[in-house]
Each structure stands twice: as structure tokens, then as C-alpha cells.
Homo-oligomer: A and B are copies of this chain.
Amino acid sequence: MSATAEITAAIIVIGDEILSGRTQDVNIHFLAKELTKLGIPLREVRVVPDVADEIVAAVNTLRQKFTYVFTTGGIGPTHDDITSASVAKAFGLEIHRHPDAVKLLEGHYAPGELTEARLKMTEVPVGATLIQNPISKAPGFKIGNVHVLAGVPKIAEAMFDAIRPTLQGGPEIHARTVSCSLGEGAIAARLSAIQDRFPDTSIGSYPYFTGSGGGSGTALVTRGTDLARVQAAAAEIHAMILDLGGQAENI
């Protein structure tokens, strides 16, 4: 946790399939939205390969820097699933078969189906608590401030739903968006002046192109914990765009 005790988060995506381009990650976007709603700003994401040393290094760097760390991926039964062992190594802990996890899988699989491979999914660092998985039963876990989630998006989402009530959020982060017909270059100088007058809000400027036959413009987003200030900054931006001869829409 930072010196100011601001509540923050980081994500570690563990997966060769993201780095190889096989899979488009969607977990970062889901977690980013959910954490923002909880007033927990996401400050960093790392995508690392299925390599123990890389996972250990990322876990140890980020768990010391941020309030919460969430990992996705690598908790299945196959040889390339090394997240549990790597997170245990990062904490200097042994892994064991968590008795509650074994019970969960015993209840889920038919007799004789609970193979050694599947039992691997019950292995968590000693002292870890389980995160429920209502979809395919094999649980995630929490150790220290690190939450280990599945990589399959539906399961990652269900696991996050399970831990949401346990997360301590900061003040809600409000956002307002003004979409306008002007390009960034036309508004940059006056937008910067508005940002200077609203140092307690963060103003982002995002150009967009909707295709060769479509339009282009800029989305201007004000963010902050003080809703009145966020709204006031958005109102100033709206007025500025009209004053510059553009069209503006609050979205």
C-alpha cells in the first residue's frame, strides 16, 4: 500500500495464449471496470508468460506496490498451469491440497473421475483461502493481498463476483463524458486550461474514427471522486466546445 494509503490494484495476466496472439484478453477490461466501480483504481497490468520466474517476479513487485493484486490464468490441471506453484514460491510458501477444495471436487466428479491431474487443481499455498467457482468448481484462492482467478472469462467473472464483497473500496470514482465533433488539436489549449482549473479531476482526451464513411471526433472524459467537480469540469468542456463552433453531446 502506498504511503498515502490510497487503495489501488494491479492485474497480472498469466498466459502464453495472450502473448502469442491466440487469444484476445477480455479479463483486464472486465476487472478494470469492476474495480473502478468499487473505487479501487487499477494502476498497472502486466502480461507475463507461463514461466515461473516471470510470475514470481511480477507477483513480488506488484504485491508490495499495490493494495490488491489479481492474477488470471494458469490454475487448471495441465502441465502449463503453474500459477499456484509460482505464487507459493513468490510468498516463500509450500503448496498443499486444500481439504475443502478436495471435498468440492469429490462432490463434482463421479467416482474414479477425480484423477491426479484434477487433484492438482486443489493445490494452493499453505494458508491460502479459497475463492468459490460456481461454474466448474475448481476454486481460485487468496494469499496475502493476491487473488488468484481463472483465465476463462466466465469463471474469472464468477470468481470476482465471489470476492467483490470482501474488497475494501475507496471513494467512488465518477466519470462524465462529453463527445464532440472537433479534433484534439482544436481543443487542446483550452482543454489544458480547464484541467489546470480542476486539478482534483483527471481529464482524458480520446480521439475516435468511426470508419471511412463515418465521422471522427473526440471523447473528453472527466474523472474524480467529487461528483460536483466532475460535473462542473464536464460542463466547462461542453461550453468550450460550443464556443469553438463544435457540436457536443454528453454521453
Which residues on A are within 8 Å of B, measured CB to CB? 13, 16-26, 28-36, 41-50, 54, 76-81, 109, 113, 115-118, 120-121, 135, 152, 154, 173, 175, 184-189, 191-192, 195, 202-209, 221, 223
A185 touching B118 in the complex, CB below 8 Å, given contacts A43-B49, A79-B195? yes
Q: Are A191 and B21 in contact (CB under 8 A)?
A: no
Find A80's partner among B22, B25, B33, B204 (CB 8 Å cutoff).
Answer: B204
Task: For A205, give the chain B residue with the smallest CB separation.
Answer: B78
A78 touching B202 in the complex, CB below 8 Å, given contacts A32-B19, A209-B154? no
A18 to B26, CA, bound (A): 11
| A190 → B minimal CB distance (Å) | 9
A18 to B13, CA, bound (A): 14
A16 to B219, CA, bound (A): 14
Q: Are B20 and A42 in contact (CB under 8 A)?
A: yes
Specify the main secondary structure of chain A where it touches its partner.
mixed
| A218 → B minimal CB distance (Å) | 8
| A109 → B minimal CB distance (Å) | 8
Residues of B within 8 A of A175 (CB): 20, 22
Residues of B within 8 A of A49 (CB): 43-44
Can you list 6 A-B pairs with a CB-CB distance of less than 8 A? A17-B204, A18-B29, A25-B28, A45-B45, A77-B185, A113-B185
Task: For A173, give the chain B residue with the smallest CB separation.
Answer: B20
Find A19's partner among B45, B113, B121 (CB 8 Å cutoff).
Answer: B45
A205 to B42, CA, bound (A): 29
Q: Are A23 and B116 in contact (CB under 8 A)?
A: no
Residues of B within 8 A of A120 (CB): 188
